[in-house]
Structure formats: structure tokens, C-alpha cells
Amino acid sequence: MDDRFNTIAGWVLFAGIVALGSSIVAGEMFHSERPEKMGYPIEGVVQEGEGGGAEAEQPIEFYLAKADPAKGQQVFNKCAACHNAEKGGANQLGPNLWDIIDEPIAQGKAGFAFSDPLKKIGGTWNWDNLSKWLDSPKTFAPGTKMTFAGLSNPQDRADVIAFLNAHSDAPRPLPAAPTATAAGEGPGNGPQKAEKEPVLTEQQTGANPKNVGGEGAPKVAGPASTATKKP
């Protein structure tokens, strides 16, 4: 019995040693270090972000040229908590927005109490300053009463401006996209400059051999060599 007990105890001890040893070895082998960058980088997403940042926003006229007042009505749902754009509509938390294009900034109707920061802006509402205002009211008029974060999407702004423009007795024609004229000028300027440059280089190459011949390289070398010889 004692022998058998010792044998069993021996195997148990041995198994324990093996288990302990293998756990140490496994710990060494699978020891993982904290990666410098956490998470899994997804290339497409990173590139998309970089591309979005690099993409310059076009002037608002570009988006107004394809603006849709019907879509603007949906965007206006975000404004409707504080504004209406109906003729003779009541001021709410924000002023009535009927016929806002070309209206003096912070004039409003029926005596809406505008904030001083907006009153100080001056001028009249147009495509450009409406777009900037709606992009970020806080940036346009720091301290404004319009507690609205803004519409970061330029097409949303153009659509809602087109919607507001339609809420007038005399809606203005939406501006044409400025890129059309810019694109027409671009290629015209490019080739003209390019045509001039080869002419200049041809003249230069024609003149260069004369210059090379006229260079007083030997003359310069002559006095220089005599000068070294003299002393």
C-alpha cells in the first residue's frame, strides 16, 4: 500500500511540476506586449478622412445652382422649432423668416428682439452670409441668441436657402455655379502661358551658343594663368 501511495503521490507531484513548468513556459511564449497603437487600423476609413479634410468646400453658389427647395423644406424641419417662413407668420423663439433674402440683418418683422451681436453685423442677408450664418451661427455672430449648432453640409445649407428664397413674393433667381466660368478661364490661361514658354526657350537656345562663344573663358584663364606664373 505504501509503495502504491508513494507511486501515486510521485505522479501527482510530477504532474504538478509539469503543469507549473508549462504555465511558466506558456506565459513566456504568449506574453503579449501592449501595442503602441490600439485598435485595428482600417485603411479605407483613414484615407476617407484624409480625403475629406483635403477636399476644399466650394463657394455656396456651386451648391445653390443645384439646390432643391423641396429638400430644403425637410432641412427646415430643424429650424421649425423656432422659426416659420410663412407670410405674416408669427415670431416664435426665432423671428419669422418670410422674404429673408436682401432683408437687413436683424431687422425682422413685428419687432422681434434681436441680440446685440447679430444687430452689430450690419448689411443685408445674401447667399453668402446666409450660408456662413447657417454653417455656424456662433462663429458668424458670437453671442447670438440663435442656439443652433449649424448645418455643416453645404448642400443642406443651399437647399434650405433655396427654400427660404421661395418664401417671398419675388423669389430671386438662384445664382449660377461659379465653377463653370472658372473652368472656362482655366484651360484658356494654361495653354497661353505654355505657348509663350517654348518660344522663350527657343530664343534662349539660339542665343546660348553665341553666349558660350562670347564667354571669355580663355581670356579669363589667360590672365589667371599668367598671374599664377608671375610670382
Contacts of 145 (CB under 8 A, 6+ apart): 114, 115, 118
Chain length of the chain: 231
Residue 165 interacts with ligand HEC (CB under 6 A)? Answer: no
Selection from 105, 96, 101 nearest residue 67 by Cα: 101
Residue 93 interacts with ligand HEC (CB under 6 A)? Answer: yes
Strands (E), 25-95: none
Q: Closer CB to ligand HEC, residue 64 or residue 83?
A: 83
**Position among 147, 153, 203, 225 found at the interface with ligand HEC (CB under 6 A):** 147
Q: Closer CB to ligand HEC, residue 62 or residue 164?
A: 164
Q: 214, exposed or middle or buried, with CB in 10 Å at 0-12, 13-18, 19+?
A: exposed
**Position among 67, 146, 162, 174 found at the interface with ligand HEC (CB under 6 A):** 146
Contact 161, 130 (CB under 8 A): yes
* Rounded distance between C-alpha atoms, residue 88 and residue 121, angstroms: 25
CA atoms within 13 A on the CB side of 170: 2
User: Shortest Cβ distance from residue 106 to ligand HEC (Å)?
Assistant: 5
* Rounded distance between C-alpha atoms, residue 212 and residue 35, angstroms: 63
**Position among 79, 101, 158, 174 found at the interface with ligand HEC (CB under 6 A):** 79
How many CB atoms lie under 10 A from the CB of residue 68?
A: 14
**Position among 82, 98, 168, 175 found at the interface with ligand HEC (CB under 6 A):** 82
Q: Closer CB to ligand HEC, residue 67 or residue 118?
A: 118
Residue 127 interacts with ligand HEC (CB under 6 A)? Answer: no
Residue 207 interacts with ligand HEC (CB under 6 A)? Answer: no
**Position among 101, 145, 158, 174 found at the interface with ligand HEC (CB under 6 A):** 145
Contact 94, 83 (CB under 8 A): yes
Residue 152 interacts with ligand HEC (CB under 6 A)? Answer: no
* Rounded distance between C-alpha atoms, residue 41 and residue 52, angstroms: 18
Q: Closer CB to ligand HEC, residue 114 or residue 127?
A: 114
* Rounded distance between C-alpha atoms, residue 134 and residue 144, angstroms: 12
**Position among 62, 63, 127, 148 found at the interface with ligand HEC (CB under 6 A):** 148
User: Shortest Cβ distance from residue 92 to ligand HEC (Å)?
Assistant: 8
Residues that bind ligand HEC in the complex, under the rule CB under 6 A: 78-79, 81-83, 93-95, 97, 100, 105-108, 114-115, 118, 134, 141, 144-148, 151, 160
